[in-house]
């Protein structure tokens, strides 16, 4: 994954200059649920952000989707290279628009994240997307796309594995439960304990602030959510269960981004907060731990909060439907999906 340290400084200017849209933090339109995916359906495969240097890696991602039972249609610009992007901003957006417009496409997977999705947001046809609802799946940099589409159109989107992810049994089964079933996913169970662990350490839940909260799920990668603050695409957390994760960030940068969201009122307006994993995040010997920072930010809010849920840049990935009603029980350390995410 590309290092994303510096892009927040220029994102706001580039996106606002390119877009005439405003008010995405207002209440989203009526909720739209895409049709559930079934084996034999055709899914589109797009690269809305970074390119992939090895064409065979994209072929591997396509084969993974085929192994899940789908037919796959590649985006026109999937193999393009424009600097470190998979094509120009307009071309990457055109691929997403085309997949929604194509009546033969039943759902849309992103191949990878990296960096670049926020740059294409002004060029998406949100009216077209709303008229042609389909499951849109990805995570990491795709966070910006998922939340913008939900907030502008009301379409439920899915923070889940990209085609380039590892689809182990846990990740694949959870994906099927959320995206390929029109029943509520219910309680999101943790992965099985590792045989080498007497008491589960890998999947341990940390209780940050007690209580229960109910609201629609929003969120994703912390870096992307912080980068879109002050733009027409910043996340609306009012009455929502906000979920966050990140990778390869030093703790002081996690602190900085959480502070940015806190100063923007994003935490106090939420009904609950779930921090997943911070994979390969560096802790300096003389500094704060991640737990220190999370307790500092969430512990005194009066909003239920936990960390350690299994989503993000890890092998065992939950698929979280953005826009769907969920219940966080911070006392028990559980998250429950209360309604079906697909029709």
CA distances 215 to 269, 275, 323, 328, 339, Å, are 11, 16, 9, 9, 11
Q: What 8-state DSSP symbol labels residue 196?
A: T
Confirm whether 250 is a catalytic residue: no
Confirm whether 181 is a catalytic residue: no
Q: Which of 102, 113, 36 is nearest to 69 (CA)?
A: 36
Active-site residue, from 245, 249, 307, 310 = 245
Looking at 162-308, list the stretches that DSSP marks H as alpha helix, in order from N- to C-terminal side: 169-179, 222-227, 251-263, 290-298
Other beta carbons within 10 angstroms of residue 45's beta carbon come to 23
Active-site residue, from 140, 165, 209, 310 = 140
Give the contacts of 218 (CB within 8 A, at least 6 positions apart): 147, 150, 235, 236, 237, 240, 241, 242, 243, 322, 323
Block residue for tokens 């602030």: 209
Please calculate the CA angle 247-327-279 and round it to the nearest 5 degrees.
10
Confirm whether 313 is a catalytic residue: yes
Looking at the chain, list the stretches that DSSP marks H as alpha helix, in order from N- to C-terminal side: 8-18, 55-67, 89-101, 117-120, 126-131, 143-153, 169-179, 222-227, 251-263, 290-298
**Would you please indicate which residues are annotated as catalytic (active-site) residues?**
140, 245, 313
């Amino acid at each position: 994954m590309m290092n994303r340290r510096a892009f927040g400084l220029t994102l706001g200017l580039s996106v606002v200059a390119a877009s005439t849209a405003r008010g995405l933090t207002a209440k989203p339109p009526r909720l739209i649920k895409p049709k559930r995916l079934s084996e034999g359906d055709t899914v589109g495969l797009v690269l809305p952000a970074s390119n992939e240097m090895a064409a065979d890696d994209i072929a591997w991602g396509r084969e993974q989707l085929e192994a899940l039972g789908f037919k796959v249609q590649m985006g026109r610009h999937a193999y393009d290279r424009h600097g470190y992007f998979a094509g120009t901003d307009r071309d990457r957006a055109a691929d997403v628009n085309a997949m929604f417009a194509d009546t033969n496409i039943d759902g849309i997977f992103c191949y990878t994240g990296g960096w670049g999705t926020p740059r294409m947001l002004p060029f998406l046809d949100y009216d077209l997307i709303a008229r042609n609802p389909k499951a849109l799946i990805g995570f990491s940099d795709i966070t910006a796309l998922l939340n913008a589409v939900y907030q502008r159109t009301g379409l439920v989107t899915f923070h889940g594995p990209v085609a380039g992810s590892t689809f182990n049994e846990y990740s694949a089964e959870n994906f099927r439960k959320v995206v390929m079933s029109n029943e509520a996913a219910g309680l999101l169970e943790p992965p099985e304990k590792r045989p080498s662990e007497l008491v589960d350490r890998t999947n341990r839940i940390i209780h940050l602030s007690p209580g229960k909260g109910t609201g629609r799920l929003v969120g994703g990668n912390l870096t992307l959510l912080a980068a879109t603050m002050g733009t027409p695409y910043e996340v609306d957390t009012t009455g929502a269960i906000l979920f966050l994760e990140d990778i390869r960030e030093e703790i002081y940068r996690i602190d900085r981004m959480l502070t940015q969201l806190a100063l923007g009122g994003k935490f106090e307006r939420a009904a609950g907060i779930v921090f997943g994993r911070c994979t390969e995040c560096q802790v300096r010997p003389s500094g704060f731990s991640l737990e220190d920072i999370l307790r500092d930010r969430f512990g005194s809010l009066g909003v239920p909060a936990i960390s350690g849920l299994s989503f993000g840049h890890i092998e065992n990935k939950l698929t979280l439907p953005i826009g769907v009603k969920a219940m966080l029980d911070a006392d028990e350390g559980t998250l429950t999906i209360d309604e079906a995410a697909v029709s």
